[in-house]
Amino acid sequence: MAHIHATAIVHPDAAVAEDADIGPYCIVGADVTLGPGVKLHSHVVVDGRTEIGEKTEIYPFSSIGTPPQDLKYAGEPSSLIIGKRNRIREHVTMNPGTEGGGLITRVGDDGLFMVGVHIAHDCIVGNNVIMANNATLAGHIVVEDFAIIGGLSAVHQFVRIGRHAMVGGMSGVENDVIPYGSVMGDRARLSGLNIVGLKRRGFNKEDVHDLRRAYRMLFADEGTMGERVQDVAKLFDSNSGVMEIVEFMSTDSSRGITQPRSGHAD
C-alpha cells in the first residue's frame, strides 16, 4: 500500500502505485498516475492528466501538470508525461500540452531539473537532460538526449536543442542549437563544440577530431550553408555524429541555426 502522509490530499480516482511515497501537504489530482517508487516530498502539487514514471522524485513546492500558460488554451484534455528516475527539484513547474502542439508535453528518463526550472506546454525533452537552476523552456521546444542547459537561461519557443549540446548559463537562445554544439551569450552564439562533454561521455579521439573538422567546414565563410552541408555529408558519411549534425541542419525549422560570431568558426 502506498505511503500517504495524513496531511496529503489524494483524489480517490488517482492511480497511485503501491510503493509510491506521498509526503506532507501534497495534493494529487483525479487524473494523475504515479508509477512504482515515485516519491513526492512535502508541498508538491500534481494535477491534470499527468503520468509520472517509476522512481521519479519531486521535491517541495513543485507544481506539475497545472494548466499551460497560454491564452489560447481552452481547457482541452491535454497531457504531461514524465519518464523514469527523474530528479525534479524545488519550485519546478511543468505544464501539459495544448491543441496547437499535439496535446502533450513529454519529459524523458533520468533527467535532473534543478531549482526553479520551467518546462512549458508542448515541449519534448529527451533522456539524461540536465537543466540548471532557473533555466526555462518556452512552448513547443525540443531538447534532445544528454543536452545541458545552464542556469538562468531562456530558450525561445519552437527552438530545437540537439543531442549533447551545451547552453551556457545566463544565455538567451533564439535559434536551433546543433547536436554537440556549445552556445552562450545574452543572445546566444555558437562558441564551438561541447568537447568536454563529449570526452566525459566516452567519445574517442577520432570521432571528436572528425566532428571538429566538420564544424569548421560547416561554419566557414566560403559558399552557402546548403553547399557546405552537402560537402560535409559527402566527406563524413561514415561518421554517425557528423551525419547527425547534417540531418539536424537539413530539417525544416522555424528558427534557423545558431551561428558563431564572424571569424570564430574554430
Active-site residue 126, yes or no? no
Active-site residue 176, yes or no? no
Active-site residue, from 35, 83, 108, 139: 139
Reference 135, options 104, 112, 105; nearest CA is: 112
Active-site residue 41, yes or no? no
Reference 87, options 62, 51, 121, 105; nearest CA is: 62
> Positive or negative CA dihedral for 207, 209, 213, 218?
positive
In sequence order, which residues have a C-beta less than 8 Å from that of residue 256 and are 6 or more positions away?
Answer: 175, 176
Do residues 138 and 70 lie in contact, with contact meaning Cβ atoms separated by under 8 Å?
no
Active-site residue, from 31, 47, 110, 122: 122
Active-site residue, from 41, 43, 118, 121: 121
At 4, give phi and psi (nearest 5°): -120, 120
Reference 35, options 80, 78, 84, 79; nearest CA is: 84
Q: Catalytic residue positions?
A: 121-122, 139
